[in-house]
Chain A
Amino acid sequence: MTGPAPEPQDAAAQLAGLAADRAVLADRLVQPWWWDVTFGLLLFGFLSSYSFHHTWLTLAAAVPLLGGLAALMAVYKRITGTWWDARKVGPVQERVRRAMRWWLAGYLAVFAIGWAADEVFDVRGAMVVAGAVLGLTAGLLSRWVTRIYVAGLRAGL
C-alpha cells in the first residue's frame, strides 16, 4: 500500500489542495447568530433562577439548560455536518484554551459576587444581572471562538 513519494510540484499541489479544502470547510462551520443568542439565553435563564432562592427551582432550571445544550449541539451537527472542540483540534487550540481559562476565572468571580450579593446581602435580582453578564459573555465567546477557528482554517495548514 505504499507508493512513490511525490515530486516537489505534486507535493505543492497537494498542500494547496488541502488548504483549499480547509477554506471550503471553514465556510460551513459558522453557526447562525441565533445559535449563540440561544446559548447565552440558556445560561442566563439557569443562573437567574438563583434569584428565586429555591433550590428545587434551580435544580429544575438545570433541566432546560442541559436539554437546550444537547439540542443546540444536535442542531449544530445537523446544520454544519460537523462537531469540533477548538481546545482539542484545529489551528487555534492554545489560544482558545487560554481564553477559556480567563473566561472561567471571570465566570467564577462574577458568579461568586452575584451569589453573595443575592444570598448573603439580600440584593434582590443580583443573580439576574450576573446571569445576564455571563450569558452575554458566553454567547460572545462562542462567536469569537468560531471566528478565530474559521480564520485559522482559512489561513492554511
Chain B
Amino acid sequence: MTTVAPQFDGVIHPSPRLQICGLLAAVDSMEFAAVRDTVGVSDSVLSKHVKQLEEAGYVKVGKATIASRQRTSLSLTKPGRAAFAAHVAELRRITGALGG
C-alpha cells in the first residue's frame, strides 16, 4: 500500500466538495445526476461546487449526447485524486489525536 503524505486542502475541505471528491475517487466517472442524488444537493449547488473543483484542476466535466439527451459526467483528475488522498490522510492524522 502506498503511503500518502497528509496535506490539508482548502478546496476539497468544504462538505459538499469533500463528498463529491469522495464519490468520484471510488469510480472512473459518475453522472452529474447520480452525484447530485447521492450528495443530496440541488443542481445549481452541485454545479457551483463542481466549477470550483474544476477550476482547481481536480475535476473533469464531460458532456455526451445520448439518445438526444445531454448527459454530464464527472471524474477526478490525477491531481484531484492525489489531493483527495492527501486530504483524507490529513483527516486521519487529525483524528489520531482523538485516541490519544
Contact = CB atoms under 8 A, between A and B. Distances in A.
Contacts, number: 91
Contacts of B28: 82-85, 88-89
Interface string B47-61: 000001000100000
Interface residues of A, number: 34
Contacts of A90: 26-27
Contacts of A89: 25-28
A8 B26 contact: no
Interface in B6-25: 8, 10-11, 13-15, 18-19, 22-23, 25
Interface residues of B, number: 32
A90 B39 CA distance: 19
A15 B30 contact: no
A11 interface: yes
Contacts of A29: 27
A153 interface: yes
B10 to A, nearest CB: 3
Contacts of B34: 28, 80-82
Given A18-B18, A82-B28, A82-B29, 16 more contacts: A1-B11, A2-B8, A6-B13, A6-B91, A18-B22, A21-B22, A21-B38, A25-B23, A28-B34, A81-B30, A81-B34, A83-B28, A84-B26, A89-B25, A91-B26, A157-B88
